[in-house]
Amino acid sequence: MPELPEVEHVVRALRRTVVGRTIVASEINLPKLIAPTTLSLFKRKLKNVTVCGVSRRGKFILIECQRPGHSEGLVLMVHLRMTGKFLYLKADDDLPKHSHAVFYLDNDRRLVFRDQRQFGIMRVVSQTKLNQAKGIAELAPEPFSEEFSVDYLREVFSRSTRTLKTFLLDQTKVLGLGNIYAVEALFRAGINPFRPANTLSAKRVVRLHTAIQEVLDFAIGHIRAGFNLEEGFSYGEAFERFWQVYEREGEPCVKCGSRIRRVAHGGRSTYWCPRCQRR
Ligand SMILES: [Zn+2]
């Protein structure tokens, strides 16, 4: 599943590719992708809109569009979920299997949304209602925004007795960390993943805050360059060789040489160094 750094790269690639283009028509082959909106309404809303920007909120990709004759813009919100991918095809390229949405552009190219597992989500909302949209309204501040400060983190930690590992995955409290990056951030900060959030010292909150930003920044910076929209994006491989604890059970810790430990809970694994991340 793509995590925030991977989604950030999809956003950047889309920005390079579709900003300035007009969607002349669209085709949806999977009604549940856009539910509860109907096919005809969805197509009508996006007809002849011009893409003026691509941004991100959490893991939602926001394709910002201008409608002819309207001052208020529209946003096409897309969540890739498990297997969603964008492709950018030429007019004579074959449409691959699982192409559930096709946007015909004014340069004879097609922007295609492909999703094998079919968990992806697409919504059209007006720009002014974006912040109240379901899935967006609940989100914690962006990890690189001013709002996501040490004080903010201290405050939300102080109100929770959940373990840090669980807490860091809650996107309404701390945004941007999936399982991999939560585990890596805790290792970087030298903090035990099973410690209750409200027991973290002020000094450790600062360390964890830094580690969260560093691990995301590092991941964004090190994702394999050169993926392109013709082939779609591949996820997951990019950061693997930089993982310090994730999927390294039994291997020596890069800092102290102790064996990395793993515990599985709720279908997810936590990895940590028993020495660097003592309770
Ligand atoms: Zn260690």
DSSP 170-183: -TTTS-S--HHHHH
CA of 258 to the centre of ligand 1 (A): 5
CA of 276 to the centre of ligand 1 (A): 4
Distance separating alpha carbons of residues 249 and 263, to the nearest angstrom: 9
pLDDT tens digits along 126-147: 999 999 999 999 999 999 999 9
Query: What pTM was computed for the model?
Result: 0.90
Q: Residue 225 pLDDT > 70, yes or no?
A: no
User: pLDDT band at residue 234, thresholds of 50, 70 and 90?
Assistant: very low
Q: Residue 68 pLDDT > 50, yes or no?
A: yes
Q: Which residues are catalytic?
A: 2-3, 59, 268
CA of 194 to the centre of ligand 1 (A): 16
pLDDT tens digits along 164-192: 999 999 999 999 999 999 999 999 999 99
CA of 191 to the centre of ligand 1 (A): 11
User: pLDDT band at residue 226, thresholds of 50, 70 and 90?
Assistant: very low
CA of 257 to the centre of ligand 1 (A): 6
Residue 240 pLDDT: 67
In Å, how far are 13, 29, 47, 234, 259 from 96, measured between CA atoms?
20, 13, 23, 16, 44
CA of 53 to the centre of ligand 1 (A): 44
Nearest 10 degrees: Cα torsion 15, 70, 41, 125: 60
Among 146, 156, 124, 144, smallest CA distance to 60 is for 124
Residue 219 pLDDT: 86
Residue 220 pLDDT: 86
| Other CB atoms within 10 A of residue 145 CB | 11
